[in-house]
Each structure stands twice: as C-alpha cells, then as structure tokens.
Amino acid sequence: MSNIVDPLVGQIAARVRTERERRRWTLAQLAEASGVSQAMISRIERGESSPTAVVLGKLSAAFRLSVASLLALAEGTPDGDPAGSGTQVRRLAEAAEWTDPATGYRRRQITRPGFPAEIAEIRLPAGAEVPYPAAAFAFVRQVVWVLEGRLAFHDGDTVHELDAGDTVELGGPAPRTFVNTGATECRYAVVLTQDQRP
C-alpha cells in the first residue's frame, strides 16, 4: 500500500464505492462508463491510490455528479448538522482540502452538502493543466471566477484568457481544460448549481 497522506483519500474511496454500489454497477461497468481502468478504480476504492483531477472528472461524469459534488459528499456533513438547517460557521482549519497528486492542484469545498449552490476554491500551480471531459459538465450550471493570477480556460475549441476579477459563465457541456499560463499560482472559485434541463 502506498504512503498517501491526503486525509480525503479514504473518504473519496468510500464515496466512489458507495456511488458505484448504489447503481449496482460492477467495476467493469464503471470502467466502461468512465473510461478509467478497472485496476485504477479498484485501487481508488481500496484507498491505495489517490485519484487525479482528470480521473475524478471521469468518475464524476459517469455518476452524473459534478467533481464538486463527489468531493463534497466525500467530505460529508456531521450527523445532526445538515447544511441549510441554520446559520453555519466553518473555520478555514476545519475545511478539508484535496490535492491532485499529478499536478499539485488544490481544491477546498466552501459550501457543505445540501447547500443550494456548490462553491469551491481552487489553487492551480504555475504551468499546471487540468482537463475534464464534456460529461463532467452535463446537468450543471457553472461560473468560474478568477481571484488571483492568470487562467487560460479552454472551452471546447475556444480559449478564454482570464485575469484576476474576470469570470466566465459556462454554456452547455463541452470538453474543458483549466491552464495556469502565469508564473505564479492561480486561485479561482467555481460556483455550481444543478441544472435539470435535458
């Protein structure tokens, strides 16, 4: 077993297994739906491998969940304290942060499960590139808001060069890639809501 220190690895493992079993899918069926190998899915479910952002994107697309949803569900909400039940304060030190082992991309969920919008803070290292398949954007509405640095946002065949303060509201599903073209870390927020339209 590898020496993985990310505290969310075990929670992600349990969430992927739970989502697969909820659908009564075999490893082979999830592999077919996601394009991720059975061996990799098995290692993720056993907590032996931390999925990359690309792999998480493929798995969440197969489950018809956003990456934010998958990570928020993995992080969980304390029993008896659901989001939306009243005013909630969560300190920075209490928020779990997930790190992509391939790129160093860091993601922190701002909102908790059950809140009407999913908000995440992303820190993308200089030169890092994270692609997602079109299916990862199905049935969601999403806004990307650059807080610091520069972001080249590839929306299908179109590239949007975004600076601090710029936003992009995403249209229908398309393959998308987040690229930090700057010399320093890029920090941006992703705001997402479910879209039930076909």
Output 113 or 192, whichever has higher pLDDT: 192
Please, which pLDDT band fits residue 72 given cuts at 50, 70 and 90?
Answer: low
Which of 194, 166, 170 is CA-nearest to residue 182? 166
Which of 142, 192, 151 is CA-nearest to residue 169? 142
Axis-axis angle for helices 38-45, 27-34 (nearest 10)? 120
The pLDDT, as a whole number, for residue 77 is: 46
User: How far apart, in whole angstroms, are the C-alpha atoms of residue 24 and residue 126?
Assistant: 40
The pLDDT, as a whole number, for residue 136 is: 82
Q: Where are the beta strands (DSSP E) in 38-139?
A: 97-99, 106-109, 118-124, 129-132
Note the helical H segments in 35-188.
38-45, 53-63, 67-75
Which of 117, 121, 100, 93 is CA-nearest to residue 109? 121
- Asked whether residue 38 carries a pLDDT value surpassing 90, the answer given is yes
Amino acid identity, position 198: P
- Asked whether residue 23 carries a pLDDT value surpassing 70, the answer given is yes
The residue-averaged pLDDT of 156-173 equals 95
| All domains in the chain, ordered by first residue | 8-75 (1.10.260.40), 94-194 (2.60.120.10)
- Summarised one tens digit per residue, pLDDT across range 43-61 is 999 988 888 888 988 898 8
Work out the mean pLDDT of the chain and round it to a whole number: 85
Please, which pLDDT band fits residue 167 given cuts at 50, 70 and 90?
Answer: very high
The pLDDT, as a whole number, for residue 111 is: 83
